[in-house]
Amino acid sequence: MKGIIIYGGKYGATEQYAHWLADALEMPVSKAEDVTANALKLYEVVVIGSSVYVGSLVLRDWLARNNSSLKQKKLFIFIVSSANGQDLHQQQMLINNNFKRNIIDTAKMFFLPGRCEVAKLSWKDKLLLKMGAWLEKNPQKKWIMKKGFDYMDRRRLDDIVGQIEGLGDV
C-alpha cells in the first residue's frame, strides 16, 4: 500500500512528529498546503497531523476541502496540542468541531502532547497565552502556561506506527 504523511502546524511540534513518523514508516512527508486532491488519489494510506490553535485544528479548512478525496482512504490522524492527551471530553469536542462525520467514523485518531516555547511565540500568541494564564485557576496549569512545556517524545508514536505497519506493505 502506498502512503503519505501530511501535516500542518504552527510552531514545529507537529512537523517534528510527522518527520519522526516518516523515518519510522519510510513514507514521504509533505506540508498540507503542498498536497492537492489529485495528489491524494495516488495514496491508499493517508496519515494527517495537525496542531490545535485556539480550539480548532490548523488543518480544519484543508480537511473540509479534501473531505471527498479522503473518504476511501485508510486514514490515521494525529492531533498535537498542549493537553496531555488524557482529557477525553476535550478530545471529543475537538473531534466533533473539526471533522466531518465520514472522517470521524473511519479514521483512527491519536492525541499527542506537543511543546510550547514561550519565547518563540508571536506577540499575539504570547498575549493570548498570558490572558489564558491569568484566567486559569489551576496553579500548575497557570505555571505551565507562563513557562512553557515540552512533552515531545518519539515513543509516543509507537501505537500509530504499529497500527500502520499492521496494514501490511505500506
Can you identify the CATH homologous superfamily of domain 3-114+152-165? Flavodoxin domain (3.40.50.360)
What is residue 12's predicted lDDT score, i.e. its pLDDT?
Answer: 93
| Residues 44-92 pLDDT 10s | 999 999 999 888 899 999 999 999 999 889 999 999 987 655 678 888 8
What is residue 23's predicted lDDT score, i.e. its pLDDT?
Answer: 97
Q: Which segment of 38-47, 113-122, 161-170 scores lowest on mean pLDDT?
A: 161-170
SS3 20: helix
Q: Which cell numbers in the block locate residue 70?
A: 479522503
Confidence band, pLDDT 50/70/90 cuts, at residue 140: confident
> Exposed, middle or buried by CB within 10 Å (0-12, 13-18, 19+), for 77?
buried
Angle between helices 13-25 and 158-165 (to 10 degrees): 40
* Stated pTM of the model: 0.90
Where along the chain do the CATH 3.40.50.360 domains lie? Answer: 3-114+152-165
What is residue 90's predicted lDDT score, i.e. its pLDDT?
Answer: 83
What does the alpha-carbon distance between residue 18 and residue 121 come to, in Å, rounded to a whole number? Answer: 21
Instruction: Quickly list H helices, the chain.
Output: 13-25, 37-40, 60-65, 67-70, 88-98, 101-106, 123-135, 139-147, 158-165
* Residue 151 in this model has a pLDDT that exceeds 80: yes
The amino acid sitting at 81 is S
Q: Which segment of 29-33, 43-47, 140-144 scores lowest on mean pLDDT?
A: 140-144
